[in-house]
């Protein structure tokens, strides 16, 4: 979930970002199974060395993909491609070019508020061969519940390498007060409207570089869109609330 970056360490955004930086791989995860995220996609961008994985995302319908706004902010439509249909990001059997990028009109790159976007595909996906369309939750997950996150981002904080196999981890949801406390600074309270935090306090499991835009799933429904985390991927992870943005996402 790097913004305009493919496989680099995330730059700290400064005090205005309230210590929140775009999320980029699963730290402390394990290889995902086909059932973990049948709607998972890899959002890729054309560069000097060809197409490379930039962020995650997931299929909402035949030609709509949900991802994080920071993943595609400033991206050129002709350079984007979405691939899906498997666990190995280098051997995903289905792909489509992108015809339209729709970023939430209130997206704020400084603090990652409203960090959601919808990509329109030129080629329709089908629910076959293990591929499914995601169902968005109608409420936020309960405090303490474990959401399953998936991604091809970094799985070690001190490495720029990203795994070929999709990784998965379960993260416990924090209370809104705990989430705000993690990211607030003196004189700059953190607004949790439209988002939630998940992850153990010791950060042994977290999203990291390359995971942005991916799903946070509970009970077969997508409850969150991976947004960001603290510098070095050492804070509980931030997710945009699927239920909060449900109407907007489904209307695009």
Domains of the chain and any CATH numbers: 18-32+134-243 (2.40.10.10), 40-121 (2.40.10.10)
How many Å apart are CA 40 and CA 107, to the nearest integer? 23
- Taking only the tens place, the pLDDT of each residue in 58-114 is 999 999 999 999 999 999 999 999 999 999 988 999 999 999 999 999 999 999 999
Which of 60-69, 176-185, 191-200, 223-232 has the least mean pLDDT?
223-232
Sort residue 3 into left (φ over 0), alpha (ψ -120 to 50) or beta. beta
* Residue 80 pLDDT: 97
Q: Which of 146, 168, 142, 145 is nearest to 56 (CA)?
A: 168
What's the token pair of residue 99?
């015809």
Q: Which of 45, 48, 47, 52 is nearest to 72 (CA)?
A: 45
Q: Say if residue 204 is exposed, middle or buried (CB neighbours under 10 Å; 0-12, 13-18, 19+).
A: exposed
* Residue 79 pLDDT: 96
- Taking only the tens place, the pLDDT of each residue in 119-151 is 999 999 999 999 999 999 999 999 999 999 998
CB–CB of 44/51 below 8 Å?
Answer: yes
How many Å apart are CA 93 and CA 116, to the nearest integer? 26
Beta carbons within 10 angstroms of residue 22's beta carbon: 33
Q: For the chain, give the mean pLDDT.
A: 84
For residue 121, give the 3-state DSSP assignment. Answer: strand
Query: What whole-number percentage of the chain has pLDDT above 70?
Result: 81
Q: What is the pTM of this model?
A: 0.87
* Residue 205 pLDDT: 66
Residue 16, pLDDT > 80, answer: no
How many Å apart are CA 51 and CA 54, to the nearest integer? 9
Q: Say if residue 29 is exposed, middle or buried (CB neighbours under 10 Å; 0-12, 13-18, 19+).
A: buried
Q: Which of 161, 167, 84 is nearest to 128 (CA)?
A: 84
* Residue 101 pLDDT: 98
Q: State residue 194 phi and psi, 5-degree precision.
A: 75, 15
* Residue 157 pLDDT: 52
* Residue 15 pLDDT: 24
Identify any residues that bridge with 59 across adjacent strands, giving them in sequence order.
65
Identify any residues that bridge with 206 across adjacent strands, giving them in sequence order.
27
Beta carbons within 10 angstroms of residue 130's beta carbon: 11
């Amino acid at each position: 979930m790097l913004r305009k970056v493919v496989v680099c360490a995330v730059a700290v955004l400064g005090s205005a970002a309230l210590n929140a930086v775009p999320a980029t791989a699963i730290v402390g995860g394990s290889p995902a199974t086909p059932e973990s995220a049948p709607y998972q996609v890899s959002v890729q961008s054309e560069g000097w060395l060809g197409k490379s994985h930039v962020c995650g995302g997931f299929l909402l319908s035949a030609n709509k993909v949900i991802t994080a706004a920071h993943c595609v902010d400033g991206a050129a439509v002709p350079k984007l491609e979405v691939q899906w249909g498997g666990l190995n990001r280098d051997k995903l059997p289905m792909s489509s070019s992108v015809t339209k990028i729709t970023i939430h009109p209130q997206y704020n790159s400084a603090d990652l508020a409203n960090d959601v976007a919808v990509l329109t595909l030129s080629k329709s996906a089908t629910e076959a061969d293990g591929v499914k369309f995601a169902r968005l939750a109608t409420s936020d997950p309960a405090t303490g519940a474990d959401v399953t996150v998936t991604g091809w981002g970094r799985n070690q904080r001190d490495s720029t390498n990203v795994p070929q196999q999709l990784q998965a981890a379960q993260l416990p949801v924090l209370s809104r007060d705990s989430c705000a406390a993690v990211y607030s600074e003196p004189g700059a309270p953190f607004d949790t409207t439209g988002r939630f935090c998940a992850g153990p306090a010791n950060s042994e499991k977290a999203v990291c570089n390359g995971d942005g835009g991916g799903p946070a799933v509970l009970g077969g429904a997508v409850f969150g869109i991976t947004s960001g985390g603290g510098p070095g991927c050492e804070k509980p992870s931030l997710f945009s609330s699927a239920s909060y943005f449900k109407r907007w996402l489904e209307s695009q």
